[in-house]
Structure 1
Amino acid sequence: MPLTTAQKDAIAHVSAQAPALSDWCARIFDFGETAWREYQSAAWYVETLRAEGFTVEEGSGGMPTAFCADWQNDVGSGEMPIIGMYAEYDAVPGNCQAATTHKAPREGLGYQAGGHTDPHSGLGISGLGGLLATKSAMIKHGIRGGLRFTGEPAEKVRGSKPIHAAKGYYDGLAAMLSFHPFYMLPMCNTVRLDTHCGAAYSMIYRFICDAPEGWGAADGAPIPQSHSAVRAPGANDALVMMYQSSKMLRESMLPHQGGWSISEAILTAGQATADNLPAGLAEVQYMMRVPTLAMVDQVTAVLDRNAAAAADMTGCRWERHWVCKSRPGLANHAIAGTVWESLQAVGAPEWGAEAIGIAQDIQKNLGLSPMDHPFLDACSNLIDPEQAEAILRHDLPPSQRNSTSDDYTDMTWHTPTARFYIARPALKSPAGAGAYPAWVMNAMGGIPATIDPMVQTAAKVLAVSALRLLQDKTARDAAMDEFKQRTGGGIGGTDWCAPLCDYDPPVHFRWPEYVTTPRGRDWWIPSAMPGA
């Protein structure tokens, strides 16, 4: 479909804003803030959006680092369709990498600090670039409609979107556009068609040993000294038992098909001491990625039993606190087709001589011979959604409807949602060289010459798609009609999956973060050690 004048102007706006988008992306990359602790990143987005004329609710959904920004072009009369976009900006602990061609943490930090892996720094600025280009074209061409832009913290623990969904932030939208940097083939410069991401549950099991004296003999300790008395093993032992028993039972928790995963992270309680008292608190977080809700409920039941057994044996009590309960995604062919047409019109990203030189420098620093064409060919090619779907389905059971995990899926139950991918820079591996270390992709996500092509391309696709939906009632109605058909009538319909979120935002746990002390600003586990 030929581009409208408004769509062409939006593309030109992104190109004109390229230097600003590059600077903004580098800034969020350097913040490197992790889940539920993205204070600087969220504040920057709020300030920027307000300066652009958006009305911004800070702390949306009860989440301190979330926001919801709205803007309307109330011209003319008739429908006021509102298109949704969003930013993510959380980084990942243990992935601190500078924007350079060799392995190095960002200045003043150690490798255990936060760093962008996907990278959400580029994801969020792509969304912002597309949003502002759409707004500019709407004003210039008198296009009636609105824009909603949500700030989505803690995506790495599937944090904000189930909460925003349950509190109605996606209700009433004409459509939602969801972009993610390419992270696995064939999901590169394409749009998801049928097989959307699956369900995800995450929870923290907390073990508390607040009455260790009650675990021993009823008549009391044989030696009347507190440090020598019979006492409970304590919370650390409970955590170890939980960790080990769940590892052993992992293959019994789910059917042996469908693709699923369970991962865990031990949250540090900071109980460093030379005393011999039993630990009073220990926490372990689990994340489950599965195709169906029935599977995730089965795993939860097993984990609950393991927690109860571990607590009984160690003189503890246990609690389960939800981090996320995310629904499997809902397909929508109509809006996927609209975004695919936009992606074809914009084209795939391209990397110029400067980016190629950077890639070659990385290869040299790894002891590899630099390649004339170092980037994966797929990064600069489009792949038809039907072809991508066929490749994705090749290794999946026919009955499986969802695969992998991402919490954008909660949006799909509230409005027609398109999920598309644009290539981030990825390098070819020379024959026999094996995989690149993780720092390579992390670094290229922060180097402007390598990440900017993705940001600009994604922003253009977002703007062209949004304007198509705003200007073309037929395309907009087709997406909404399919949404209502698949849900049995829309929100609340007979085939609708209601929000699963029945918990408060889990912001009060000991999530990794940056801290400021008399020693200065550092990662919460000090990394600026002499000789480090």
Structure 2
Amino acid sequence: MTDPTPPSPAKRAALDWMDANEAALSRDHMTIWNLHEPSWREYKSCAWYVARLRAEGFEVEEGSAGMPTAFCARWSNGPGPVLGGYAEYDAIPGRSQAPVPCRQPREGVSRFAAGHTDPHSALGIGSFAGFLAAKHAMETQGLTGTLKFFGEPAEKMCGSKPVHAAHGYYDDLDAAISFHPHSFAALANSCFWDTHSAPYWSRIYTFECPDPETWGRINSGQGGSGSSGVQHGHSAARAPGAIDAVCLMYTSSKYMKEAMLPHTGSWSLNEFIPVAGMAAADNLAPNIGQIQYSLRAPTLAMCEQVFAVLDRNAEHCAAMSHCTVASAWITKTRPGLPNHAMAEITYRNLELVGAPRWSEEAKVFGREIQTGLGLVPMDDPFLPEIQRLVPPQEGEKSFRAQLPPWQVNLAADDYVDYTWHAPTVRLYVGRPTLAPPEPGFRYPEWTRHAMGGVPACIDPMWATAGRVIGATLVDLLSKPALLERAQAEFRERTGGGIGGSTWVAPLLPKDFQAPVDYRWPEYVTTARGEGWTIP
């Protein structure tokens, strides 16, 4: 798959732009890393991207598809392909970590505050850098076409991309690039081939107890509360209420979990309780409670089956606890659709750029972590896999070795919604990961989170991605045959493109309103100053 030809003048212009701007982009990355805002609450991070993109000449729609922390930016240099990509910038609650070689929350915030884990701060800057590099090449080398760059909030909830897709934002794309820091060591610097991410569905159930006084309305006159004429709320039987409903839902669904799906394949179901209570006194029934279920499963049919069980459980739990129940989707994604042509184009540019390389400064930080953990520091503390390339077909073999033959999708990420609207590549680049001292050893998660805030450690990853993305965009703009091959494959896989016989439409309705008004974790400002709040 190696392309022996030297870079074209346009591609050289994109790569040179990256060289000239890498230091400034490193500072930009730290700006987003230091904001560390959680899903649906990335106000400052989104505003930073909007301002920067406008300064670069993009037309930017803020709040795209009704999402306050999303955007859609567009820059055109004349007629030609419309190429898409995106930034993510949400951080994860409970993962506050300072950029130091020991477990230490960031200074000045709660240890339960959010922190970048993947990190999306670098994911966003890497993609942003690639699009700016391509824009520079277009301006200086006369390439025509349109760059469409999205701000995609709440990726950890697979939140925004299904909403953008449902509202039609991807329908005019000719191709798209999805970049992510590596998640699989065997595929650290590569592109997905056949096995793409699986569907991710999430639903929230809201239990309410609107009429607690009707519980036990028919009484026996015993115990001082019936016909005796002595009636008092403290001595009456209290309605179970919404906390009981949530507890019943939680436990009954745990009991039912092993009966939801066959014991084969890779799937997971997790829950989150954003609200439990709202009762101001011990004799009042808690009037509202919520529980969110999030499922990763290989097929849409499996998702339907699990939520049919959960819906039944919710109805029964509401009836037992004297509550009503309402359900609402948080997200519904589709399974990822491969595109070999896009993977090959992108991987050739990864070969041109090469795998990330880490400096002695980065290695010193890695050794300090190892020493602090009581390990013997290594000359090169970083995992060998993140420093070499893996052809997509070889990475695919690693996936297939651990999956049953019928399972063609694994894990979850909402980039999959791009794949049903345009030929899309999923690019992986190795993020800083420490080498284990022995097989089976696992480093604490904070080690990766800390390295995400150390420029010497994290910059090689996003800078490599930026170069690959910029070069790939140039190829798609300057070599029509490459783009046509990718689009022909897309049409074949979808039975004719968008609306084709095997095309899967967005799973959310066209008028879907993003779930931004729930009590998600966030930073708040009160008379006491800025603080972190957990529902």
Query: Normalization by structure 2: what TM-score?
Result: 0.95
Does residue 284 (structure 1) correspond to residue 288 (structure 2)? The answer is: no
| 3-state SS, counterpart of residue 404 of structure 1 | strand
Deviation string 1:289-338 (CA, Å, 9 cap, x unpaired) is 01111000000000001111111111111111110010001111111111
The residue identity in structure 1 corresponding to 2:50 is: V
Q: 1:522 aligns with which of 524, 528, 531?
A: 531
- The answer to whether the aligner puts 1:61 opposite 2:65 as a matched pair is yes
**Aligned residues between the structures:** 522
| Conserved? CA contact 1:269–1:510, under 8 Å | no
For the pair 1:13 / 2:17, whether they are aligned, the reply is yes
Alignment pair present for 1:175 and 2:175: yes
Note closer, same or farther for the CA distance 1:241–1:498 as it changes in structure 2 (3 Å cut). Answer: same
Contact residue 279 and residue 286 of structure 2 kept, 8 A: no
Offset from partner CA, 1:185-221 (integer Å, 9 cap, x none): 2221000000111111001111111111112133595
Aligned residue identity for 2:16: A
Whether 2:79 is the aligned partner of 1:72: answer no
Partner of 1:96: 96
Give the conservation status (yes or no) of the 8 Å contact 2:246–2:291: yes
Aligned match of 2:52: 48
Say whether residues 1:237 and 2:241 are aligned partners: no
User: Could you list the per-position Cα deviations for residues 464-498 of structure 1 after superposition, in whole angstroms to 9, with x for gaps in the alignment?
Assistant: 11100100000000000110111011000111000
The structural deviation recorded for 1:367 is 2.0
Confirm or deny: 8 A CA contact 2:86 2:149 kept in the other structure.
Answer: yes
**Structure 1 gaps, min length 5:** 527-532
Counterpart residue number, 2:106: 106
CA RMSD of aligned residues (A): 1.4
Aligned counterpart, 1:204: 204
Is this contact kept in 2: 1:213–1:230, CA < 8 A? no
1:381 deviation in Å? Answer: 0.4
| Amino acid aligned to 1:12 | D
**2:302 aligned residue (295, 307, 318):** 295
* 1:437 to 1:268, Cα distance in 2 relative to 1, 3 A: farther
Distance 2:173 2:30 in 1: 31
SS in 1 for 2:411: strand
TM-score where L is the length of structure 1: 0.96
Taking structure 1 as reference, are residues 369 and 272 closer, same or farther at Cα in structure 2, changes over 3 Å only? farther
Match of 2:257 among 246, 250, 257: 250
Which one-letter code corresponds to 2:438 in the other structure? Answer: A
Q: Deviations over 1:241-269 (max 9, x none)?
A: 10111111111101111211101111145
| Residue 340 of structure 1: how far off its partner (Å) | 0.9
Shift in Å, 1:71: 0.1
Deviation for aligned residue 1:434: 2.9
One of 493, 505, 510 as aligned partner of 1:498: 505
Which residues in structure 2 correspond to 1:103-142 (within 5 Å)?
A: 103-142=103-142
CA deviations on 1:419-467 (whole Å, 9 max, x unpaired) are: 0100000001213783111111111111111000001000001001110
- Post-superposition CA distance 1:355-384 (Å, at most 9, x none): 000101111222222111100000100011
CA positional deviation for 1:94: 0.4
Q: Distance in 2 between the 1:444 and 1:247 partners?
A: 36
After the TM superposition, which residues 326-365 of structure 1 pair with which residues of structure 2 at under 5 Å, given as runs? 326-365=333-372
Match of 2:150 in 1: 150
Structure 2 unpaired stretches of 5+: none
Residue in 2 that maps onto 1:186: 186
% identical equivalent positions: 51
Amino acid at match of 1:287: S
Runs of 4+ in 1 over 6 A off after TM superposition: none
Distance 1:276 1:43 in 2: 46
Counterpart amino acid of residue 468 in structure 1: D
Q: Please name the residue that 2:414 is paired with.
A: 407
For residue 270 of structure 1, report the CA deviation from its aligned partner: 6.8
3-state SS of 1:407 partner:
coil
Residue of structure 1 in register with 2:380 after alignment: 373
Q: How far apart in 1 are the matches of 2:103 and 2:280?
A: 34
